[in-house]
């Protein structure tokens, strides 16, 4: 790694939603080692506090804000917490998400609504809260978590895929509207180790997901991709990354 690349992450203020586990937590660790200043958000405050202590032991700056991304006011408060604490916001990682897969005929409507609320509205609220700050700064970077399921649809993934196709559309619209100083990255992972499969409540689908996740790759694969997108020079916008286990066909 060149010193110049290192400098591009050093001091950046990065908000991560869904930082209490999985990809969000691992991304926080990687960015902390590179000198970023972190704002950790999720609902489970005690997990965030524990992670913040770990990051501080690495010598990094980290602050915590308990946030439910389905609540627009809480997402606004999260961004305000970032700017109150650090005076700016460089990267908004809209990562919080759920994947309660099931066939449509099962009619698990509450789970569908939860996916739309967290995976879609959560990202919209993140954009809504952070965009004015980035516009004022004339710089900023959104990193939105879609999925391989945001590019292809499997039996059982209809609503989850709809939510992740929506993330792709939101990111692409944002990219076209946000002007020359704001970067937008859509990151679409395949099977990656995290707590995500635990959100599948439908037994038969859960079995299929567990089979697929036997090939899952470590969460640091995604963290490294996020670092890569952030460490580019300001005039380079990595718009899309799809990454899968080499063994994953779909
Ligand atoms: P995890 O289940 O490990 O993490 C999900 C995170 O989202 C947790 O930190 C959870 O925190 C947070 N979250 C859930 N609901 C809310 C809410 N209402 N408000 C705030 N935070 C919330 O899964 P991953 O790390 O794998 O998932 C991260 C993202 O990556 C998701 O968007 C997922 O769809 C996407 N993804 C993951 C893949 C994988 O294979 N792992 C593949 C493709 C995409 P808490 O419960 O404390 O609120």
Ligand 1 centre to CA of 196 (Å) is: 6
Residue-wise pLDDT tens digits, 48-103: 999 999 999 999 999 999 999 999 999 999 999 999 999 999 999 999 999 999 99
Give dist(CA 194, CA 29) in Å, integer.
15
Give dist(CA 62, CA 32) in Å, integer.
8
Residue-wise pLDDT tens digits, 147-198: 999 999 999 999 999 999 999 999 999 999 999 999 999 999 999 999 999 9
From 96, 143, 165, mutation site for ligand 1 pocket: most ligand atoms within 8 A of C-beta: 96
From 196, 213, 218, mutation site for ligand 1 pocket: most ligand atoms within 8 A of C-beta: 196
Assigned fold of 3-232: Rossmann fold (3.40.50)
Determine the atom of ligand 1 nearest the C-alpha atom of 70.
Answer: 18
Q: Across-strand partners of 42?
A: 66
Q: Where are the domains of the chain?
A: 3-232
Ligand 1 centre to CA of 31 (Å) is: 18
100 lines ligand 1 (CB under 6 A): no
Question: HEC profile for 176-210?
Answer: HHCCCCEEEEEEEECCECCCHHHHCCCHHHHHHHH
Sheet of 37-42: strand order equals: 61-66, 37-42, 13-17, 91-94, 140-145, 182-189, 240-243
Look at the pTM and tell me if it is higher than 0.75: yes
**H runs (alpha helix) in 87-157:** 109-115, 122-137
Angle between helices 158-177 and 122-137 (to 10 degrees): 10
The yes-or-no verdict on residue 213 having pLDDT over 80 is yes
Q: Are strands 37-42 and 13-17 parallel, antiparallel or unpaired?
A: parallel
Give dist(CA 227, CA 201) in Å, integer.
33
Ligand 1 centre to CA of 20 (Å) is: 8
% the chain with pLDDT above 90: 96
160 among known catalytic residues: yes
The yes-or-no verdict on residue 236 having pLDDT over 80 is yes
Q: Across-strand partners of 192?
A: 217
Of 86, 125, 160, 213, the active-site residue reads 160
């Amino acid at each position: 790694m060149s010193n110049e690349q290192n400098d591009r992450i050093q001091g950046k203020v990065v908000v991560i939603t869904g930082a209490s586990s999985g990809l969000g937590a691992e991304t926080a660790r990687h960015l902390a080692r590179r000198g970023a200043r972190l704002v950790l958000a999720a609902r489970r405050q005690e997990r965030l506090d524990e992670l913040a202590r770990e990051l501080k032991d690495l010598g990094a700056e980290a602050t915590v804000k308990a946030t439910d991304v389905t609540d627009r006011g809480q997402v606004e408060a999260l961004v305000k917490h970032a700017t109150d604490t650090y005076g700016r916001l460089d990267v908004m990682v809209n990562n919080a998400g759920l994947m309660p897969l099931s066939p449509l005929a099962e009619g698990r409507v509450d789970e569908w609504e939860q996916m739309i609320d967290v995976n879609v509205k959560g990202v919209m609220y993140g954009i809504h809260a952070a965009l004015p700050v980035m516009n004022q700064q004339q710089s900023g970077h959104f990193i939105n978590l879609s999925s391989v399921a945001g590019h292809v649809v499997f039996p059982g993934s209809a609503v989850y895929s709809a939510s992740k196709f929506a993330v792709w559309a939101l990111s692409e619209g944002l990219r076209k509207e946000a002007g020359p100083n704001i970067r937008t990255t859509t990151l679409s992972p395949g099977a990656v180790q995290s707590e995500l499969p635990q959100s599948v409540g439908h037994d038969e689908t859960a079995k299929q997901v567990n089979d697929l996740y036997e090939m899952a790759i470590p969460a640091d694969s995604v963290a490294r991709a996020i670092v890569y997108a952030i460490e580019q020079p300001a005039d380079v916008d990595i718009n899309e990354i799809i990454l899968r286990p080499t063994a994953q066909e779909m």
